């Protein structure tokens, strides 16, 4: 997955969570039922803080893939394309591919992984359909150990972490993080998706992500 820098955002997220505010927001919006999952997530972050980066990737990836159920935005949020904050994902305990990737992204930043090593990647995923193979819009999280490294892919479809070179089922369209947008092939919707990302960052900060 090779990308060329196309646009830099003005807002850069910093690490550090206000857990008291997050918990208050969770209770007010979702009631008490998600509280145990929220506590598990908070405990997992604390226990993973001092681990190696490879172990951080594994634990974050496994937590969300195992504890969050996949579902469609129209069923969870009543919208065709809604980007949930990590708190909303924990509150609903359900997510689509964007929400899985976003929750993993914020969690890894919280436990010390640099934003510069992480990119949310829009891809076309080759999947089996009733009439044969088809390309499906999908999002994954990529981790770059160094700028020119073969990135590792954190995914909710293929749940074990693999290098991008082994994910020949994925064709990258563009990628982004809190610092910029990287474009691989022609894409007409990058500006609207960037706007949606900026809106999510603002909502996450209001909830307690700093």
CA angle, residues 116, 58, 159, in degrees to nearest 5: 105
What gap in Å lies between CA 26 and CA 90, rounded to an integer?
9
Length of the chain in residues, anyone? 210
8 Å CB contact between 196 and 203: no
The CATH number of the domain where 103 resides is what? 3.10.620.30
DSSP one-letter string for 2-34: --EEEEE-S------B-HHHHHHHHHHHH-STT
In the predicted structure, residue 131 carries a pLDDT above the cut 90:
no
In the predicted structure, residue 139 carries a pLDDT above the cut 60:
yes
Mean per-residue pLDDT of the chain: 87
pLDDT at 193: 61
Q: Are strands 118-129 and 132-143 parallel, antiparallel or unpaired?
A: antiparallel
| Overall number of domains in the chain | 1
Query: What is the average pLDDT across 153-171?
Result: 96
What gap in Å lies between CA 9 and CA 62, rounded to an integer?
30
Query: Who has greater pLDDT, 4 or 143?
Result: 143
What does pTM read for this prediction?
Answer: 0.88
For residue 129, the SS3 value is: strand
What gap in Å lies between CA 198 and CA 34, rounded to an integer?
26
Q: Token match 């904050």: residue?
A: 85
CA atoms within 13 A on the CB side of 37: 22
In the predicted structure, residue 202 carries a pLDDT above the cut 80:
yes
pLDDT at 132: 79
Query: What is the average pLDDT across 85-104?
Result: 98
What gap in Å lies between CA 120 and CA 86, rounded to an integer?
14
pLDDT at 69: 98
What gap in Å lies between CA 139 and CA 130, rounded to an integer?
22
Structure tokens, 51:
């681990």
Which residues span the domain enclosing 104? 4-207
């Amino acid at each position: 997955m090779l990308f060329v820098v196309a646009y830099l955002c003005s807002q850069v997220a910093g690490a550090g969570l206000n857990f008291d505010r997050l918990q208050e927001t969770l209770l007010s919006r979702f009631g008490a039922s998600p509280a145990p999952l929220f506590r598990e997530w908070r405990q997992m972050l604390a226990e993973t803080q001092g681990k190696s980066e490879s172990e951080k990737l594994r634990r974050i990836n496994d937590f969300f893939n195992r504890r969050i159920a996949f579902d469609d935005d129209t069923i969870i949020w009543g919208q065709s394309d809604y980007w949930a904050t990590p708190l909303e994902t924990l509150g609903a305990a359900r997510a689509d591919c964007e929400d899985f990737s976003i929750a993993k992204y914020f969690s890894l930043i919280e436990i010390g992984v640099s934003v510069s090593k992480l990119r949310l990647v829009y891809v076309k995923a080759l999947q089996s359909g009733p009439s044969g193979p088809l390309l499906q819009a999908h999002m994954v999280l990529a981790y770059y150990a160094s700028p020119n490294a073969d990135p590792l892919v954190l995914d909710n479809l293929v749940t074990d972490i693999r290098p991008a070179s082994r994910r020949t089922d994925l064709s990258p369209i563009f990628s982004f993080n809190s610092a910029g947008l990287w474009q691989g092939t022609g894409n007409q919707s990058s500006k609207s998706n960037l706007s949606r990302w900026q809106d999510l960052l603002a909502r996450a900060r209001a909830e307690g992500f700093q």
